[in-house]
Amino acid sequence: MSYSYVNKIGKILCIGRNYTAHIKELNNLKPKEPFFFIKPQSAILKQNEGPILIPKNVVAHHEIELACVIGKRLQNLRPDKFGPKEAIDAIQGYALAIDMTARNVQAEAKRKGLPWSISKGFDTFLPISPLLSKEVITDPYNVELNLKVNDEHRQRDLANLMIFPIHKFISSMSSIMTLNPGDVILTGTPKGVGIVNPGDIVECWCSINGKEVSDSHMKFNVAEKPGFYVFHEE
Asked if 213 and 66 touch (Cβ cutoff 8 Å), the reply is no
Confidence of residue 18 (pLDDT cuts 50, 70, 90): confident
pLDDT at residue 29 tops 90? no
Q: CA quadruple 18, 24, 26, 30: dihedral positive or negative? A: positive
Q: Quote the CA–CA distance of 11 and 13 in Å, as a whole number.
A: 6
Q: What is the pLDDT of residue 22?
A: 86
pLDDT at residue 120 tops 80? yes
Confidence of residue 23 (pLDDT cuts 50, 70, 90): confident
Confidence of residue 26 (pLDDT cuts 50, 70, 90): confident
| Nearest C-alpha neighbor of 216 from the set 224, 207, 227, 225 | 207
Residue 66 Cα to chain centre, angstroms: 6
For range 200-225, the mean pLDDT: 97
What confidence tens digit (pLDDT) does each residue in 75-119 have? Answer: 999 999 999 999 999 999 999 999 999 999 999 999 999 999 999
Residue 97 Cα to chain centre, angstroms: 5
Residue 138 Cα to chain centre, angstroms: 20
Q: What is the pLDDT of residue 28?
A: 82
For range 25-52, the mean pLDDT: 92
Where is pLDDT greater, at 31 or 167?
167
Asked if 127 and 41 touch (Cβ cutoff 8 Å), the reply is no
Q: What is the pLDDT of residue 35?
A: 87
**All domains in the chain, ordered by first residue:** 4-224 (3.90.850.10)
pLDDT at residue 1 tops 80? no
For range 27-52, the mean pLDDT: 92
pLDDT at residue 165 tops 80? yes
What confidence tens digit (pLDDT) does each residue in 44-83 have? Answer: 999 999 999 999 999 999 999 999 999 999 999 999 999 9
Q: Quote the CA–CA distance of 211 and 118 in Å, as a whole number.
A: 36
HSE at residue 227, side-chain half, CA atoms within 13 A, is: 13
Q: What is the pLDDT of residue 20?
A: 83
For range 216-230, the mean pLDDT: 98
From start to end of 168-227, where are the E strands?
A: 184-186, 194-196, 201-208, 211-212, 218-224
Alpha helix segments (H runs only) across 54-181: 84-90, 103-112, 118-121, 166-174
Confidence of residue 16 (pLDDT cuts 50, 70, 90): confident
Write down the pTM of the prediction.
0.95
Q: Quote the CA–CA distance of 184 and 69 in Å, as a whole number.
A: 5
